Amino acid sequence: MYSFYFYLWLRWALRVSLCSIVLALVGALFVTVFIYIQQGLPTLRVEVYLALFDIMIFWFPLMWSLSLLVALFRSLKHIFNVEIKGYRLALLECSSKEELYDIGYGDIVKVWRKWFMVMIWLVACQILLGSVLVYMFTSYASVLEWLNIYFLFLFVLLSGYFSFILLGGRCKKVKLVKC
């Protein structure tokens, strides 16, 4: 059963990573093109290319922060539609204990809120643990000097694994079923 959670997590992590990075790149490219057009479409020289690249590099982490939320919401629907090693997560109706087979985004809002709060707490625990380890074993002056969007993304991916286990075992609207 734990191999089910591991393979589910791998599929989810790949999906969230690709979706969030592609959305962030598209968003940063859109902002860069918008700024380029606002500046009057200057002639493309080396300086202009470097400036546009710097603008895109500046906007990428900001867009990645926003696109990660979108990717997390979109990815939750797909974990209920996948069968791995003879198991799958089933979403149950509110009024009865019957399974939902046609799952829409409106059906997963309550589950997403619970799952997202579990992930927030797990990420916070990882940040605390990481801060203690960094403070004890490195020479960083500030406790959170090491924390950036890339570490946060890694923590979100790691907390996803444990949140699936908690979601399947503790949430009343989600049940692990054998196919």
Q: What is the pLDDT along the chain (179 residues), one digit of tens a residue?
A: 678 889 999 999 999 999 999 999 999 999 999 999 999 988 889 999 999 999 999 999 999 999 999 999 999 888 888 888 888 888 887 666 777 777 878 888 888 888 999 999 999 999 999 888 888 888 776 777 788 888 899 999 999 999 988 887 777 778 888 88
Domain count, the chain: 1
Give CA torsion, residues 22, 166, 159, 10, to 10 deg: -50
Cβ–Cβ under 8 Å, residues 72 and 52: no
Burial class (CB in 10 A: 0-12, 13-18, 19+), 24: buried
Give dist(CA 150, CA 147) in Å, integer.
Answer: 8
Residue 58 structural domain: 2-178
The model's pTM is: 0.84
